[in-house]
Chain A
Amino acid sequence: MTDAAGLRRRTAELLAAHPPATTGRLDFLRARFDAGLAWVHFPAGLGGLDAPRALQAVVDAELAAAGAPGNDPGRIGIGLGMAAPTLLRYGTDAQKKRFLRPLWTGEEVWCQLFSEPGAGSDLAALATRAVRDGDGDWVVDGQKVWTSSAHLARWAILVARTDPAVPKHRGLTYFLCDMTAPGVEVRPLRQITGEAEFNEVFLTGVRIPDAHRLGAVGDGWQVARTTLMNERVAIGGARLPREGGMIGVAAAAWRDHPELRTHDLHQRLLTLWVEAEAARLTGERLRQQLSQGQPGPEGSGMKLAFARLAQRISGWEVEFRGEDGLTYDDWTLRRPEGVDFTGREAGYRYLRAKGNSIEGGTSEVLLNIVAERVLGLPSEPRTDKDVAWKDLPR
C-alpha cells in the first residue's frame, strides 16, 4: 500500500474519482488530503499514509502529469514548513484534525508571531505576556515584528511569556492565535527595498482559548525549537541546477552586456561562479545524504553560505551595471504576497539580500550553533541562564 506501486495506484484512484478537468481546485485538494496523498509521510487520517517521505515525489509526478492543481506552497510556506511539523509533533488529536487540512489546502494561511522588537537573536527573552483569566482562557498583550503574511493569515503560531518569575527559557508557552480575533492589529513594516513584505503585529487584550495552546504551559521554548529547526531547513534546503539562483542572473548579465565587461569584474565573477557551484554541490551532497538516511550537519551551514553568496553576487551585479547601477526600479510601498530573491532589478536584489543573513537566524548566531553543536567548542559564559526573566536587564 505505501510502496511506490501502491501510491501510484492510490493516486490513480484519486484522479479517477475526482478528474482535475471537472473538479474544483479546492474540492480536489481536499479529496487529495483525505486520500492521504497530501504529505505521504504524515499519519493516516491527517493527509498522509505513514509512507517514507521520499515517496512524495512519486505522487507529485503522477499528479503533475495529470494536470492536477497544486496548493501553491509559496503562498503558504509558513504553514507547511513550520506550523504543520510543530502541530504534528505537539498538537492534540483535536488540534491536528481541526487545523492540518485547511492549512495544507491553503484555505487557511498561517503566520509566525515569534520575533519582537526586544527579542531577535535572543528570542527566549520575548516580552509578550499571556495571562490566564477566570475562565481558563488566556489574554495576550504585546508586540511582534517581522511577520510575513500576517495581513493574509487566518491563524498564527505564537510564543508568549506565561511566567516572568522563572528563567527566560522556562516561562514560555506556545499558542495558536486567531488573527481575526479582537485586539489583533496588523501594520505593514516598510523595509529598505521600499516594499513591505513583513508586518508589525500588535496584540491588545487578545483572548485565546486554552484549547488553542500547543504543548504544556511553560514548554513553549521546546515547542518553538521544533518550528525553528524546520524554518532553517526550509530556507537552506532547495535543490538548484547549475547556475540556479543569484549566480544565474549575474552570469546572464555578463553574457548580455559585453560593453560593460572589465578584467577585474571578470576575475571576481569567476570567483563567485566557483563559490556558487561549490555551494550548489554542497546542497546536492546534503540532499544525497538525507536520501540515504544519513543526515549530515552540513544543513546548518547551507543558509549561511547562501546568504553570503547572495550578498556578494548581487553587490557585484550592481557594480557591473555601471550607470544603471545608480538607478532603482521603484520605491513605491508595495505589499508582495511572496518573496523572490532573484526578482526585479539588480538594486532590489542587492538590498533584499541584506536580509538573508538576518532572517531565520543571523549568520553570527548560526556560526555559534555550528561552533558549539557541530565542532563541540565551549559556549560563552552566560549571565542570563539562572536569572528570573523579570530580573534580566532590558
Chain B
Amino acid sequence: MTQAPPAAEPDLLYSDEEEALRAAVRALLADRCAPATVLASLESGRPYDSALWQALTGEIGAAGLLVPEHLGGQGAGPRETAVVLEELGRAVAPVPYLTSAVLAVTALLGCDPARPEVAGPLAGLAAGRTTGALAVPLTAAPGAAGPPTVRADRAGALTGRVTSVADAAGAGLLLVPALGPDGPALYAVDAAADGVRTEPVTPLDLTRPLAHLALDRAPGRLLAAGDRARAAVDRALLTGAGLLASEQLGLAEWCLAETVRYTRERTQFGRPVGSFQALKHRMAALWLDLASARAVARNAADALAGGTPDAPVAVAVAQAYCAPVAVRAAEECLQLHGGIGMTWEHPVHLFLKRAKSDELALGTPGRHREALAAPVGLPAP
C-alpha cells in the first residue's frame, strides 16, 4: 500500500467572471428571496418558487451552466455552478437547482447527447422551461447507489417505487434508473404520464420538498443502457455531492454573518454579548472552519471541472468536511441567538433544517470518509 498520489495544482480562487455571476445571483436573491419571503411561503404547498426559478434560469441562464452551448446551455461548468449554489445556500432558496440543473442535467450529459431523446430534454432543462429529477433517494451516495428498485419491461413500461426523491413533485421530467430486460438502464418518464404517482412526504427541510415515486407500468423512453447508464447516474451523484459542498458553504456563511451581526447588537449584562470571549471564540473557530470549507469546496468544483482522476477524492473530502461545518454553523447560530433562535419567526431554523438534511443528502460525512479509505490507501482493519 503506497501513499496517495499528489493532487495536481487546483485553482482555488474565483475568476472575475465567477464573481460577476455571483453578483447577479445575489442581487436577484436579495430582491426576491429574503429570508422573510421564504418563511412566508413555507407552508404554501407550492413545490418551489416558480417566479424566482424563471428569473434565475431565464434572465441569468443558471440552469444551463453545465450544458455545452451547442446543446442549448451556457457552456460554463462546475466551478460556475458551484458559485450559484453558494448563493442559493446563503439564501436557503426554495428552487430545484441542485436536483434539476445539477443532478438531472449531469445524468443526461452522461447519456449520448447526440440522440434526440437525450438532447431534447437536456435543452429543456438547460433553459429552465421544465425541471427534472433523478429518481434516486436523496440519501444516495456516489458509488453506492444500490440496485434500481424499478423494473422495465421490453416495451419500456416501468414499475416500482423510489422513496425520498427530492423535488420530484414539482418536476416535469423524471429520470428513472431501472433494471431492464438487458440489465441496468436509465429511462425518461413524463411526470404527467399515466402510471406515475408522486406521494409527497412531510420533509424536515421545507425548502426542498421530498416525495415517494410510485410507477405502475409508466411509459419510459430509454436514455442509456448498461455501463453507460450506471456511469451516468454515478457521475450525477458525484457531481451533485461535490457541488452540494458549495451550497453548504453558502449556508454556513449566512449563519456566521448573521450570528456576528446579532451578537454585536444584542446587549446583556451592560455590554454587547459578542464581546464575551466565550462567544467570540466560538464564532472565530467557525470562521476558521469556513475558510477551510471554502478551500475544499473550490477544490471539489475545480476537480469536477477538470475531470481529474482525483475528483472522487476531492468530492469525498469536500462532503466529509463541509456537511458537518454547515450543521455546526446553523446550530451555533441558533444557540448564540438565544430564545429568538428557537422561534418559528426567526429564519435560522430554515438554515438548520437545510443543513441537517444536506448532511444526509448524497452520502453522509461518514460514508464519504469511508469512501476515501481505498483511493488514499488507508484500508480498514
Contact = CB atoms under 8 A, between A and B. Distances in A.
A282 interface: yes
Contacts of A281: 10, 12, 292, 295-296, 299, 317
A274 B372 contact: yes
A288 B13 contact: yes
Interface stretch (B64-72, B85-93, B223-231, B273-281): B273-281
B275 A381 contact: yes
A380 B260 contact: no
B376 interface: yes
Interface in A289-318: 289, 292, 296, 298, 301, 304-305
B287 A374 contact: yes
B13 A285 contact: yes
Nearest to B2: A255
B294 A285 contact: yes
Interface in A236-288: 241-243, 248, 251-252, 254-255, 258, 261-263, 266-267, 269-271, 273-275, 277-279, 281-282, 284-285, 288
A304 B288 CA distance: 8
Contacts of B275: 377-381
Interface string B353-373: 000000000000010011011
Nearest to A252: B3
A263 B381 contact: yes
Contact of A274 (B4, B272, B317): B317
Interface in B183-224: none
Given A282-B292, A377-B274, A267 B369 contact: yes
Nearest to A259: B381
Interface string A365-394: 001101110111111110000000000000
Contacts of A367: 277, 280-281, 284-285
Interface in A336-388: 364, 367-368, 370-372, 374-381
Contacts of A241: 6
Which residue, A243, A279, A281, A376, has most C-beta atoms of chain B within 10 A? A281
Which residue, A251, A255, A277, A301, has most C-beta atoms of chain B within 10 A? A277
Interface in B235-294: 260, 263-264, 271-272, 274-277, 280-281, 283-285, 287-288, 291-294
Contacts of B153: none
Contact of B378 (A262, A266, A304): A266
Nearest to A301: B288
Interface string B290-315: 01111110110000000000000000
A261 B275 CA distance: 45
Which residue, A278, A289, A374, has most C-beta atoms of chain B within 10 A? A278
Contacts of A242: 4-7
B377 interface: yes
B320 interface: yes
Nearest to B381: A261
Given A243-B4, A274-B372, 10 more contacts: A273-B378, A281-B317, A282-B292, A284-B10, A285-B13, A285-B291, A298-B291, A377-B280, A378-B272, A379-B275
Contacts of A371: 280-281, 283-284
21 contacts: A242-B4, A242-B6, A251-B376, A261-B380, A261-B381, A262-B381, A263-B381, A271-B369, A273-B372, A277-B317, A278-B293, A281-B295, A282-B295, A284-B9, A288-B13, A301-B288, A368-B280, A375-B280, A377-B264, A378-B275, A380-B276
A251 B3 contact: yes
Nearest to B319: A274
Contacts of B296: 277-278, 281
Contacts of B294: 282, 285
Contacts of B284: 367-368, 370-371, 374-375
B11 interface: yes
Nearest to B279: A377
A263 B380 contact: yes
B321 A275 contact: yes
B372 A270 contact: yes
Contacts of B6: 241-242
Contacts of A248: 3
A257 to B, nearest CB: 11
A266 B278 CA distance: 33
Interface in B323-381: 366, 369-370, 372-373, 376-378, 380-381
A262 B380 CA distance: 8
Contact size range, B: 35 or more
A275 B317 CA distance: 8
Nearest to B285: A367
A370 B372 contact: no
B326 to A, nearest CB: 14
A252 B378 CA distance: 9
Interface in B1-47: 1-7, 9-13
B115 to A, nearest CB: 39
A375 B373 contact: no
Contact of B260 (A275, A279, A301, A377): A377
A206 B281 CA distance: 41
**A-B complex: 7 closest residue pairs judged by Cβ atoms:** A371-B280, A261-B381, A370-B284, A378-B275, A281-B295, A285-B12, A270-B369
B376 A273 contact: yes
B292 A278 contact: yes
A346 B281 CA distance: 30
B375 to A, nearest CB: 11
A270 B292 CA distance: 17
A289 B14 CA distance: 10
B239 to A, nearest CB: 19
Contact of A288 (B1, B2, B12): B12
B2 to A, nearest CB: 8
Nearest to A364: B281
B281 A266 contact: no
Nearest to A299: B291
B3 A378 contact: no
A368 B369 contact: no
Nearest to B369: A270
A301 B298 CA distance: 18
A375 B369 contact: no
A255 B372 contact: no
Contacts of B377: 251, 255
B347 to A, nearest CB: 20
Contacts of B292: 275, 278-279, 281-282, 305
Which residue, B10, B294, B296, has most C-beta atoms of chain A within 10 A? B296
A269 B380 CA distance: 10
A274 B280 contact: no
Interface in B154-172: none
